Structure 1
Amino acid sequence: MKDLGKLRFFLGIEFVRSKAGILMNQRKYALDLIANPGLGGAKPVFTPLECNQRLTTTDFEEDILCTNDAIGATVNDSMLLDPESYKALRVIKYVKNTPGLGLLMSSHQSDNLVAFCDSDWASCPQSRKFVTDYLVKIGNSLTSWKSKKQTTVSRSSVEAEFRSMASTVA
């Protein structure tokens, strides 16, 4: 086994140490994402989606391959043909505004483990399935979060909340 020194990069995540703690971010990946499709001169936006925009499965009936090359080809075209391209470009413009944001694991915090969960019973009008959300914090640092449409239909809001709690602790 070989000691590689202090951790700086791991799986595309940059680790920056300071007196405040350890900051984990994907700044290099974000800058590469902006540079590849040629969006260096694009005006940044402050939100990843437009306010009050609802996404439904009918917006994405066909599988869309959204890679840097596909976005780059879209940017180089004189016209954006589909609304999904606008949405993908808006997310990249948002990332341009916030490339260095990350998670701070504070060195001055307690080791309390706190978890929050919620469910939105029958939120999908097509399938009546619920969406479960959770987040887990150690001290004041967010360590895990998830938002997912469940695979089963719950018969009541209590069952949906129970399933949400179960997925939080699993």
Structure 2
Amino acid sequence: MIKRTKDYLHTTFSIKNLGPLNYFLGIEIARTNVGVILSQHKYSLDILSDFGQLGCRPSVFPMEQNLKLDQCTESHKVDAALYRRLVGRLLYLQATRPDLAYAVNILSQFVSDPREDHMNAAIRVLRYLKSTLGQGIFIPKNGVFDLTAFCDADWLGCPYTRRSRTGYLLSLGGAPISWKTKKQSVVSRSSAEAEYRAMAITVSEVLWIRWLLKDFDIHITDPTPLYCDNQATRHIANNPVYHERTKHVEMDCFFVRERVESREILPICVASKQQVADLFTKPLGA
């Protein structure tokens, strides 16, 4: 069937068989007996070389802990074109490096007017890259198709807009397949509200992945575990009673609760130390 498909494509388009996939658009594919590894080792080296950081001192984590970057108007301006080029290259590196997602998301907010503090934070990411050049995503060869989701929020995380940040990670068979870090569109009045908005966004992504797998003839019958470290959020999802704290997020409440009742989602409380989605909402240490 594969050969017939290739022959048919060749009659319509001019194609060339390059053999087994090893390198594509900067992503290296390494096959082992237990699975496939996706990495961007060469692309990472090119970034370090382009910005003169091949000999830099490595760092064990990408962003200084408890760092809250704002416009830094009192700091000196830097070369905006150079900063944008660096951030742009780091954005593509996220294809196989979810551990960089939070730092790059923060840095990309200041491409219009970058300052010295922003550039220093970007160089810190390069130092972390130097110590983790071969890191990537491992997709196991054998395993069950169990879809798992983690979601988290950083309440009032943005220092100048006071908007909260949503972060989630979806894994299939133990391999990360979808992740995101993004500022929420409105200011949340409580941590429970911020966490619940994050949960609603994560549920939307889980539903899309479940529908996509169904198109691939992979039918997931069990509810997808959704791990959240906020007790109030889990209680709201399972409790049909409204009160003052949930009136302004009524739509999200109905949306999540409907999916819980249809057994597509199963909210589960997880300890904060085991919350994988923390990687996308705050700067973590080693």
Identity %: 39
Provide the residue aligned with 2:165 in structure 1.
Answer: 131
Structure 1 position 118 matched with structure 2 position 152: yes
Q: Which amino acid aligns with 2:125?
A: V
**Structure 2: stretches of 5+ with no match in the other structure:** 1-8, 10-14, 87-114, 206-286
Q: Which amino acid aligns with 1:39?
A: Q
| Equivalent-residue separation in structure 2 for 1:157 and 1:163 (angstroms) | 10
Provide the residue aligned with 1:160 in structure 2.
Answer: 194
Secondary structure of the 1:116 match is: strand
Structure 1 position 92 matched with structure 2 position 126: yes
More helix by share: 2
Deviations 1:36-85 (A, max 9, x none): 222222222222123x24122233797944125xxxxxxxxxxxx92333
Provide the residue aligned with 2:71 in structure 1.
Answer: 58
Secondary structure of the 2:142 match is: coil
| Equivalent-residue separation in structure 2 for 1:88 and 1:60 (angstroms) | 17
Distance 1:129 1:85, change over 3 A: closer
Structure 1 position 18 matched with structure 2 position 32: yes
Provide the residue aligned with 1:34 in structure 2.
Answer: 48
Deviation at 1:125, TM superposition (A): 4.4
Tell me the C-alpha RMSD between the 2 structures: 2.5
Contact 2:69 2:159 in 1 (8 A): no
Deviation at 1:4, TM superposition (A): 3.6
Deviation at 1:91, TM superposition (A): 1.4
Distance 1:132 1:97, change over 3 A: same
TM-score under structure 1 normalisation? Answer: 0.78
Q: Which amino acid aligns with 1:103?
A: I
**Structure 1: stretches of 5+ with no match in the other structure:** 69-80
| Equivalent-residue separation in structure 2 for 1:125 and 1:83 (angstroms) | 15
Provide the residue aligned with 2:22 in structure 1.
Answer: 8
Structure 1 position 45 matched with structure 2 position 50: no
Deviation at 1:20, TM superposition (A): 1.8
Distance 1:110 1:155, change over 3 A: same
Provide the residue aligned with 1:77 in structure 2.
Answer: none
Distance 1:84 1:120, change over 3 A: closer
Q: Which amino acid aligns with 1:129?
A: R
Structure 1 consecutive aligned stretches of length 4 or more whose deviation exceeds 6 Å: 60-63
Across the two proteins, how many residue pairs are aligned to each other? 157
User: Aligned to 2:175, which of 141, 145, 151?
Assistant: 141
Which structure has the larger Rg over C-alpha atoms? 2
Q: Which amino acid aligns with 1:82?
A: E
| Equivalent-residue separation in structure 2 for 1:137 and 1:60 (angstroms) | 40
Deviation at 1:150, TM superposition (A): 0.9
Deviation at 1:156, TM superposition (A): 4.0
